[in-house]
Amino acid sequence: MRASEAVEGYLAHLSDVRRLSPATVRAYRSDLADLVSHLGDPALDAVDLDELREWQWQASKAGQAKSTAARRISSVRGFFAWAKDEGILDADVSLRLVSPKRGRTLPSVATADTLASVLRSAEEAARDGDPIALRDHALLEMLYGSGARVSEICGLDLDDVDHERLTVRLRGKGDKERVVPFGVPAERALQAYLVRGRPVLRAARTDVTADTSPSRSRGTASRAVFLGARGGRVGSRAVHLLVTRTVGDSIGVDALGPHALRHSAATHLLDGGADLRTVQEILGHASLGTTQIYTHVSTERLRDAYRLAHPRA
């Protein structure tokens, strides 16, 4: 079997069996397509460890970040392990690939005061009733208020929101569901958008086809909470740009990632006294170790405050 053919089988497995998100599958596709291109699409059982190491070395020589290299190797290992399990390969040659050690980097977060200012500005912009401004205010409040991933917020349907209990049902990685709370400010912004903004955006939709946005494979735009300017389900890229534009200037665009509000929400929960297990459940982390990075963020902020304020620091 050619390597490219095996890759397509593996990607179908990730999507249909393991039910990974479209964004995750795209990342695997990109990594494995680069490998196939480097190798020249040989028969998969002809690929050896030296060729994999050469591919790894070429990327390293080009200045590839350690985090990217580690992800690419993880993609290759997953692919070859699947191929062996499926009987396509007799042996998994990727087992001896060594991932570079990644230094732990702390996520960028905004202070609570900074985010309060950002959200006040978004609220002010929405007061004239512009549907996009109403939507953007609700998006920012929900992202920060629930600690949700951008893709999870983009994928929200109307029946996922419980306005009485102030909870929202999110579908995370691996299509796992969780129900998390959100606050009164987010509910006010969401209601204003649903009453005054969403109907206007919905009316802008000119076609009646089902929404096939990669943000959510299920549902149509008629059920989506957050809509784009053309009336379809809003995409992750649009939300990333919104977060960058509104929060980026406050904490530094270069350091800003797509999860800026999620990172900030987690850190502020811990600062406010929430226990680590609760934060883990809200964020939907499979491992408590993933959540623990936020304890380091909080500790750094305590140290900074101590150095500035304590006479014996």
Q: What is the mean pLDDT of residues 181-203?
A: 95
Complete domains list, the chain, with CATH: 3-96 (1.10.150.130), 112-257 (1.10.443.10)
Q: Which of 173, 178, 202, 240 is catalytic?
A: 173
Please, are residues 246 and 54 in contact by the beta-carbon 8 Å criterion?
Answer: no
Q: What is the mean pLDDT of residues 131-158?
A: 94
Sheet with 177-181, strands from edge to edge, namely 161-162, 167-171, 177-181
- 273-293 per-position pLDDT tens digit: 888 888 888 888 888 877 777
Q: Which of 10, 28, 144, 294 is catalytic?
A: 294
pLDDT (0 to 100) of residue 206: 59
∠ Cα 251 256 260 (to 5°): 90
pLDDT (0 to 100) of residue 134: 97
Q: Which of 135, 137, 216, 259 is catalytic?
A: 259
Q: Is the pLDDT of residue 57 over 50?
A: yes
Q: What mean pLDDT, rounded, does the chain reach?
A: 85
Q: Which of 72, 216, 262, 263 is catalytic?
A: 262
Please, are residues 291 and 285 in contact by the beta-carbon 8 Å criterion?
Answer: yes
Confidence category of residue 161, pLDDT binned at 50, 70, 90:
very high
Q: Which of 72, 137, 149, 216 is catalytic?
A: 149
Q: What is the mean pLDDT of residues 256-284?
A: 84
Confidence category of residue 86, pLDDT binned at 50, 70, 90:
very high
Q: Is the pLDDT of residue 269 over 70?
A: yes
Residue 294 annotated as catalytic: yes
Residue 262 annotated as catalytic: yes
Distance from C-alpha of 84 to C-alpha of 69, rounded to nearest angstrom: 23
More reliable by pLDDT, 198 or 69: 198
Tokens of 246: 């509104």
pLDDT (0 to 100) of residue 102: 61
Instruction: Enumerate residues 6+ apart whose C-beta is below 8 A from 307.
Output: 313
Residue 285 annotated as catalytic: yes
| Dihedral sign of CA atoms 16, 19, 21, 25 in order | negative
Residue 149 annotated as catalytic: yes
